[in-house]
Amino acid sequence: MTTPSFDLGPDHLELRSWVHSFAADVIRPAAAEWDEREEFPWPVLEEAAKIGLYSLDFFATQSFDETGLGIPVTMEELFWGDAGIGLAIVGTALAAAGVSANGTPEQVGEWVPQMFGEPGDLRLGAFCSSEPDAGSDVGAMRTRATYDEATDEWVINGTKTWATNGGLADVHVVTAVVDPDLRARGQASFVVPPGTKGLSQGQKFHKHGIRASHTAEVVLDRVRVPGRCLLGGKEKLDARLARAREGTRAGGNASMATFERTRPAVGAQAVGIARAAYEVALDYARTREQFGRPIIENQAIAFALADMKTAIDSARLLVWRAAWMASQGKTFEAAEGSMSKLVAGETAVKVTGQAMQILGGNGFTREYPVERMARDAKIYTIFEGTSEIQRLVIARAISGAQIR
C-alpha cells in the first residue's frame, strides 16, 4: 500500500509536462475551430495517437499507477487544453472502463485493444447506458437483452442516448435489462463487436458545450451478439440474478460499477477547465487597466481570484484523494468518488462564470476562450451523474437511509 502524498514524484511531473505540452501546442490552437465545426477532431486524435497519448498502452499504464494519480494528472492537463477535444481523446476510456469493471480477463484482452487501434487506423469505443426515459433513474431502463439458447446468442433491442462516440465507435458497450422484474438488479453489460448488424446511429446532438465530442443516440434493432459478449459470463450473471431473486445482496449494477471507477477522472477534467479559466482571468486582471491601474488591484477582483484558486485546489485534493483510495482498493464509505465529482463539477461552473465576469464584455465574446470554457463546464453538473444524484449517493452513504 502506498502512502498518499501531495507532492508529485518525478514520473508524474514528467507526465504532466508531456501532456501539458501537447495540450498547449496541439489542442489549444485547434480548440475554437472544432468547437465551431461541431465535428469529431480526427486530425487531433491522430496526432495524439502518433505520440502514444491515444493508445491502450498509455491508458493501461496510468490505470495501473499504484498512486492513482496518473489518470487525474492526464485528465486535468488535457482538459486545460480544451474540454471538447479532451473528451474526444478520452471518451473511449469510458467504454474500456466498462469492460474492465465487468468483464473477464479474456474479454478485456479481446475487446479493449479493438477500441483504440493505432496511428493511421484509429478506432473508438462507446459506452451506452442512458436512455430517453432512463438517465438518472437506471431502474427505468427499457433496452432488453434476451438469451437465445439454441444459438448461444443474446438479442438486444432498444435505444440509447447521450452516448459519447455513439454510432461512430467500432466497439459499443451496452447495458441492457435481462430480467425486468428485478429492475436495476436485473441488468447486464454486453459488447457489441464492430460491424454487428442492427446497430445504427440515431440523432446526433448539437450541444451547448463540449461540441468537438461526438454525442448521439444508438439504436439497437434485433442486434445479435455471441454469448461470449456478455461481460462477466453467463454463469456469473445467473448466480447474481439468483441472489437478487432470493432477496440477498446481488452485487453491483453494471452501469454504476463503471461510473464509480470514472468519477474521480471526470472530476479531474472539470478541475482542468476551471484552472484554464482561472489562468485567463488572472492574466487579464494583471494587464487590464481601469481608472489608471490594473483591475487586480481592486479588492473585488483580487478576492474573486483568491476564491477561484482556493476552490480549484480544494476540488483537486478531493479528486486525488478519491483516485488514491480507488488505487488502493479502499471502499468509498462516504461516497468519496461522488464527492470529488460533485465539488469539481460545481467548481468548474462557478469559476468559469467568475472568469467571464472578470473579463466583462470581452468574456462574453468568442475572442476570448472563457466563453467556451463556461459552456463546456456546465455538462459536469449533468453527465455521469447529476449534482443532485451525487448528493443523493453521498447522503445515502453517510446516513445509511434510503433517501429519495
The crossing angle, in degrees rounded to 10, of helices 42-50 and 28-37 is: 150
For residue range 265-316, list pLDDT tens digits in order: 999 999 999 999 999 999 999 999 999 999 999 999 999 999 999 999 999 9
pLDDT at 259: 61
What confidence category does residue 204 fall into, taking pLDDT thresholds of 50, 70 and 90?
very high
Q: Look at 24 and 254; give whichever has higher pLDDT.
A: 24
Q: Look at 135 and 53; give whichever has higher pLDDT.
A: 53
pLDDT at 7: 83
Residues shown for the chain: 404
112-116, 188-192, 329-333, 365-369: least confidently modelled range: 329-333
Mean pLDDT of 244-252: 68
What confidence category does residue 136 fall into, taking pLDDT thresholds of 50, 70 and 90?
low
What confidence category does residue 375 fall into, taking pLDDT thresholds of 50, 70 and 90?
very high
Q: Look at 133 and 43; give whichever has higher pLDDT.
A: 43
Q: What percent of the chain has pLDDT over 90?
A: 82
pLDDT at 135: 66
pLDDT at 402: 86
Please give the grid coordinates belonging to residue 189: 453489460
pLDDT at 235: 92
What confidence category does residue 377 fall into, taking pLDDT thresholds of 50, 70 and 90?
very high
Q: Is pLDDT of 137 > 90?
A: no
- Residue 205 is given by DSSP the state P
- Residue 134 is given by DSSP the state B
The Cα 72–Cα 266 span in angstroms is 8
Three-class DSSP category at 161: strand
Q: Global pTM?
A: 0.93
pLDDT at 44: 98
Mean pLDDT of 248-260: 56
pLDDT at 184: 82
What confidence category does residue 261 fall into, taking pLDDT thresholds of 50, 70 and 90?
low
Please give the grid coordinates belonging to residue 336: 468519496
Q: Look at 186 and 4; give whichever has higher pLDDT.
A: 186
- Residue 197 is given by DSSP the state T
Please give the grid coordinates belonging to residue 386: 447529476
Q: Look at 103 and 63; give whichever has higher pLDDT.
A: 103
State the number of CA atoms in the 13 A half-sphere of 151 facing the CB.
9
Mean pLDDT of 187-191: 95
Which DSSP helix (H) or strand (E) runs through 220? Answer: strand 215-226
pLDDT at 329: 87
Mean pLDDT of 215-244: 95
Q: Is pLDDT of 154 > 60?
A: yes
The Cα 4–Cα 67 span in angstroms is 7
pLDDT at 76: 98
String of DSSP letters for 326-374? HHTT---TT-HHHHHHHHHHHHHHHHHHHHHHHHGGGGGSTTSTHHHHH
Three-class DSSP category at 105: helix
Q: What percent of the chain has pLDDT over 70?
A: 94
What confidence category does residue 252 fall into, taking pLDDT thresholds of 50, 70 and 90?
low
The Cα 397–Cα 375 span in angstroms is 31
Q: Is pLDDT of 63 > 90?
A: no
pLDDT at 264: 93
Q: Which positions are annotated as active-site residues?
A: 384
Three-class DSSP category at 275: helix
